[in-house]
Structure 1
């Protein structure tokens, strides 16, 4: 998925959840996304009710996490790990998993670094800085 709209992202997650519930065959990307969804049972209600949640707005001011954004960032991380891009991320994340004791805590630490680097790139109107991203991950895995 390259630069999907908000609605396309939501429909993607609604569709894979529906397909999984029906036992349908999933593409490799859908299977990867499903593993992310399955690790987040707190979002199953949302994904089971597209009519109710398709247009819902989640606001940080309300202390809410947008489930589609959260799942999308997880999926981006899984894609990065599957191809080791940026180079070296897989090993750093494995170290982080060892340090934190589980994959989910490690993924959430990765998420913090990834979101920070995206924010910096957007704020400063510069390209995403892979080295700063990896440095953030290294600090978390060693500190």
Structure 2
């Protein structure tokens, strides 16, 4: 699947980094749906992460990126949505592996943990890494089966 449209959101802890991510994605030619927040004023992360996950699960966006303070909380929320495989990443190897091995479709980042340079490099690597398939496809299908068993799609 060719990635063209990416849903992006952040809470206040990730606002500054999200703005940089959006600019980079647009410069790379991606269509970006910025779901907020629109300032560094304090907001709660759950609704922002949920909206990104819903856009990806519905197919209206091929991938999603959520930035909060640490990156973990948004992954927890996004993973509540059937069909979402959200992963917090703090390194290039995690970003690459999450796509290659797990077919992650939502990336969550910690705006208070990551420098801009590393974060932008991770975003580009994550978006350019294809799913490896093979033995990993069987495992991703097992994740989908768990969703179905739990009545989630």
Q: TM-score if structure 2 supplies the norm length?
A: 0.26
Identify which of structures 1 and 2 has the higher relative contact order when contacts are C-alpha pairs closer than 8 Å and 6+ apart.
2
The structure richer in helix per residue is 1
The structure richer in strand per residue is 2
